[in-house]
Amino acid sequence: MGDSVSDPTPDRPLLTVENLRVRFRMPTRMVEAVRGISFTVGREKLGIVGESGSGKSMTARALLRLVPPPGEVSADRLRFADVDLLAAGARTLRDIRGRRISMVLQDPKFSLNPVMTVGRQVAEAYRAHRASRGEARHRALEMLRAVRIRDPERVYHAYPHELSGGMGQRIMIAMMLIPDPDLLIADEPTSALDVTVQMQVLAVLDDLVSRRGMGLIFISHDLDLVASFCDRVLVMYGGRIVETVDAANLHAARHPYTRGLLAAAPRLDRIGSELPVLKRDPAWLTGEDPAP
């Protein structure tokens, strides 16, 4: 539950990130995936948007200290509730991952155990939290229902390869929500789903934020989706945050990159023969642009 956070002041952010950097030291050069970004997350839906290579996924991994070698993470501050994530040891991090901060990735094919039935995997998440076998099964079925799986009994006994991608993703979300995390990091969680299923999964996440007071970092390439779903949006380009806007005002964004992305997407309410193509300005990489 949200009240498990030992932080009684609701207006203090759940997560504080200051000057976060992720670097990969390659034999011939240094690749900077994230270049000194700062932001906070409260009990809200924070969107991070950007195209492939913008550093949005690497940011998510860095928060949980899951950047693979030779990646190096540094920051001036990386604080989750009362824990300093930079100073935390392996044990503390293990306790936080999954239990207090959960993560859902895009492709369930690589996240689910292929040789274990779905039900056992979901129930295992409850068993890890000391529920009895029967109780775990009962709550697993309930959770499958909560993520709008139509026939939970059948799905419980199915193996991951027998299910569609949409089903697999909802199961992943169900598993991640079982420990009742304070913060959920969702990296393109609905990009592989059909649009109606996508909206239903978003409604599940939405309710968790509004009812349990969970914080959500929602990473996506889809600006229009983020604008309609999130409260606040960070726009990333080349490892930097080029703009932070209230989701409701995304369409009034001022940075040329954000505006370029919005203009490049075909829209049902806009007839046009030629789509405006994004012209990338090298200044966006250094922050010397006149953006607000």
Interacting stretch for other proteins, rule CB under 8 A, among 4-12, 126-134, 139-147, 160-168? 160-168
- CB of residue 157 vs other proteins: minimum separation in angstroms? 18
Residue 44's contacts (CB-CB under 8 Å, 6 or more residues apart) are: 209, 215, 216, 231, 232
Residue 10, classified by CB atoms within 10 Å of its CB into exposed (0-12), middle (13-18) or buried (19+), is exposed
Going from the C-alpha of 225 to that of each of 43, 67, 193, 255, the distances in angstroms are: 20, 27, 13, 19
- CB of residue 216 vs other proteins: minimum separation in angstroms? 13
**171 token code pair:** 């199961």
When binding is defined by CB under 8 A, the residue of 133, 265, 286, 287 that contacts other proteins is 265
Q: Compute the distance between CA of residue 170 and CA of residue 197 in angstroms, rounded to an integer.
A: 9
Cα–Cα–Cα angle for 244, 285, 290, rounded to 5 degrees:
60
- CB of residue 204 vs other proteins: minimum separation in angstroms? 9
Map residues 36-75 to x or -, x wherever contact with other proteins holds by CB under 8 A: ---------------xx-----------------------
Nearer CB in complex with other proteins: 114/272: 272
Stretch 76-135 residues interacting with other proteins (CB under 8 A): none
For residue 85, give the nearest of 15, 187, 180 by alpha carbon: 15
Nearer CB in complex with other proteins: 57/126: 57
Q: At what angle do helices 165-177 and 118-127 cross, to 10 degrees?
A: 10
- 261 binds other proteins, rule: CB under 8 A: yes
Nearer CB in complex with other proteins: 101/214: 214
- 281 binds other proteins, rule: CB under 8 A: no
- 165 binds other proteins, rule: CB under 8 A: yes
Nearer CB in complex with other proteins: 37/250: 250
Amino acid identity of residue 267, one-letter, is R
What is the three-class DSSP state of 166? helix
For residue 175, give the nearest of 154, 156, 153 by alpha carbon: 156
- 7 binds other proteins, rule: CB under 8 A: no
- 229 binds other proteins, rule: CB under 8 A: yes
Q: What are the residues binding other proteins (CB under 8 A)?
A: 51-52, 150, 164-166, 194-200, 202-203, 206, 221-225, 227-229, 260-261, 264-269, 271-278
